[in-house]
Structure 1
């Protein structure tokens, strides 16, 4: 049975998701459609049908998505971009015969996308450790938060409350060696005086000022229905590009606690980082993570199983294989020209 699946603009590592979906021998065959605003995105090279995606305001983008699904008779929409807005219009996709691989609770997605709201929602959840943090909008609030965290003995960092990945992340220091800054050895660092001078009399969007976590970082990939977690694979950042799929019971229990609280379906990812031996929450991504293909080395084909779960409501999941170390190297790909 052939199904058409569409990936809207997404990260390049989703290239592997397409291969994993195609390679699965089961009752479904997939034809993959990909759109991306960058003409030379490698994602476009791995598609059965590729199209340059327009840059549009939200309301027009949703219209584009619905029309794309209708025009190409898309069975499954696997979104990465504009998840919250797409979740608010699921009935429009249903009307054109498209199922969307996304949590249907748009309000919950709004909460998860804002780290301040997320931390507040999970602060009393057993097994989930929240870092010390403050949400600020002004120079005075930033200075107060910084002082309070320093009084607790923390090194301080900050990032936008609605940022994604490492965008806008900085570590705050009292002073930085100018030569280190010149030579790029402290490109994530900023002095407290620089921050305060930049903020001056401005009021800015929410900034999360928090304790800096300086030990092991993990990404926990999960597959679930709303009612049940089906697979959990903690992926440790060992060093550089080295990753380890680790059977870490503390993190497995943490994922179960998060799911019990939020009831996220399909694919989601939890980012944590340790401090003093305790894993503390960084963020939750209610979608496939950029490194999900590495977690698939556990034997769990996350992208395919998520789509099958959407199509038929149940899947058989093998027990993950742990103790796998992995890395990656570059490989050249000749780009075919798109019209």
Structure 2
């Protein structure tokens, strides 16, 4: 029986575990999870759970390595503190635990910082990137906004180091403020509101002010082997609300192959693309399983299980996903105990 450990993950870890358990070969697995909140939904499908301590850096990595040693973990699938884990990957090698993480430290650190990654991608001529500037003061923010707006762009901004939609805002100066106050919470803000907030600080963390991409958005879930050889990619079009369509998009399939060949990212990762005026532009690459991976698995490809086999070094025949699938998701009540 193979033992798999997830450290602090999102609630979608529940779906990853279910997919691996329900693998077509009937392989048996035992799952271990840690999280500061033992009632977190991510732990619901684990066979053993433990509360994580509030530590960072090397002490946190040592905690994870000790957890793997104590529970004879075969595969460790980290989300939290991946960069620290790669810096001290020898701690896991020494006890025989395989880690599902990109070991190329320079590449991993670049993917975790949008400014560094955009500069790297631009130099390799891999894929178009949005126009952007990185700022640290309100004055720089104002100048960047004015330059991008003068170039004909709608403008948005986001911290260079963040996950998902955290910190993302769209500048909209024509909004009806009263209607917005009475309506749903939105991602929009006016330039004046953003500037006033930023001006309250002399200097702030790197903020990327960029062209707002307004065309179709795609999330491309990928799985590669240990050497970064692409096994499968599934473009997932984000439609309205919770609706998605799994598309056999030749342009995005070609882009995925080009990125895989150049960057050699191993195991499971996710490419975020959005079109603007017919041109696909890169938002980011997440070096981990995505939050919507369980939707892409409706293609008939068990992507979490495929990634586990990849980290274990098992040979794999590239699967053929089904496309043209319209999909969505709903909440489901679950008994916790």
Shared fold by TM > 0.5? yes
Cα distance in 2 for residues equivalent to 1:218 and 1:25: 28
Q: Is there any run of 5+ residues in structure 1 with no aligned partner, and where?
A: none
Check conservation: 1:44, 1:51, Cα contact below 8 A.
no
Cα distance in 2 for residues equivalent to 1:60 and 1:180: 49
Computed over aligned residues only, the root mean square deviation of the Cα atoms, in angstroms, reads 1.5
Instruction: State the partner residue of 1:121.
Output: 120
Report Cα offsets for 1:163-212 as digits up to 9, x if no partner: 11100111113353220331245631222122222222521111000011
Instruction: State the partner residue of 1:271.
Output: 272
Instruction: State the partner residue of 1:303.
Output: 304
Cα distance in 2 for residues equivalent to 1:255 and 1:299: 19
Report Cα offsets for 1:139-182 as digits up to 9, x if no partner: 11111110111111111000101111100111113353220331
Cα distance in 1 for residues equivalent to 2:150 and 2:295: 40
- The range that moved more, 36-45 or 7-16, is 36-45
Report Cα offsets for 1:219-273 as digits up to 9, x if no partner: 0001113342110100011111111110011111111222222110111100111
- The range that moved more, 234-243 or 251-260, is 251-260
Cα distance in 1 for residues equivalent to 2:174 and 2:125: 38
Matched ranges for 1:139-218 at <5 A: 139-185=138-184, 187-200=186-199, 202-218=202-218
Check conservation: 2:62, 2:91, Cα contact below 8 A.
no
- The range that moved more, 312-321 or 216-225, is 312-321
Check conservation: 1:4, 1:32, Cα contact below 8 A.
yes
Instruction: State the partner residue of 1:18.
Output: 17
Q: Is there any run of 5+ residues in structure 2 with no aligned partner, and where?
A: none
Matched ranges for 1:6-155 at <5 A: 6-26=5-25, 28-126=27-125, 128-155=127-154
Instruction: State the partner residue of 2:234.
Output: 233
Tell me the TM-score normalised to structure 2 length.
0.95
Tell me the TM-score normalised to structure 1 length.
0.95
Cα distance in 2 for residues equivalent to 1:186 and 1:94: 46
Cα distance in 2 for residues equivalent to 1:60 and 1:73: 20
Report Cα offsets for 1:13-33 as digits up to 9, x if no partner: 121111111111437421111
Instruction: State the partner residue of 1:289.
Output: 290
Report Cα offsets for 1:86-132 as digits up to 9, x if no partner: 11111101112211011111221110111111111111444511011
Instruction: State the partner residue of 2:222.
Output: 222
Check conservation: 1:127, 1:253, Cα contact below 8 A.
no
- Structure 2 SS opposite 1:239: coil
Equivalent pairs counted in the alignment come to: 335
